[in-house]
Amino acid sequence: MTDPVVSYDLLTTQLLQDPDLDVSDTAAGLHVRGTLFAYLDDGELVVDLPEARAGDLVGREVAAPVAAGRAEAKGAWVSVADPEDWPELAAEAHQFVGEPAVGMDS
């Protein structure tokens, strides 16, 4: 079985190489433009995703709902146990949380 800390460290390294240079790593987790979008908790990756996407993942038992994340969610926090799913879902969370609010991009 893959060590979740090693998997998280690899994921963090990949995300820190984002060409926009908008990802930061703190003790709390991964941030995009200062807003938390992913963190490791009890060996699972917790990500902030759009509510519909989070609901789909929970419904297919890919993820479990997280009642209260470490920060207010833009969508819904879910935890993902399988490290193979982490890169895709962390990228989705990065994009989702990093998007400017509607009407705020001009």
- Average pLDDT in the chain: 90
Residue 63 per-residue DSSP state: -
In the sheet that holds 76-80, the strands lie side by side as 23-26, 29-32, 35-41, 44-49, 76-80, 64-65
Please report which confidence band the pLDDT of residue 93 belongs to, taking 50, 70 and 90 as the band edges: very high
Q: How many domains does the chain have?
A: 1
Range of the domain at 11: 4-98
- Domain assignment present for residue 103? The answer is no
Sequence-distant (6+) residues with CB within 8 A of 12 are 25, 30
Tell me whether residue 106 is in a domain.
Answer: no
- Banded model confidence at residue 106, pLDDT cuts 50, 70, 90: very low
Neighbours of 56 (CB within 10 A): 14
Tell me, yes or no, whether 44 lies in a domain: yes
**pLDDT, tens digit, 9 for 90 and up, residues 8-41:** 999 999 999 878 788 999 999 999 989 999 999 9
Within a domain: 104: no
pLDDT at 19: 80
Q: What is the CATH number of the domain that holds 89?
A: 3.30.1460
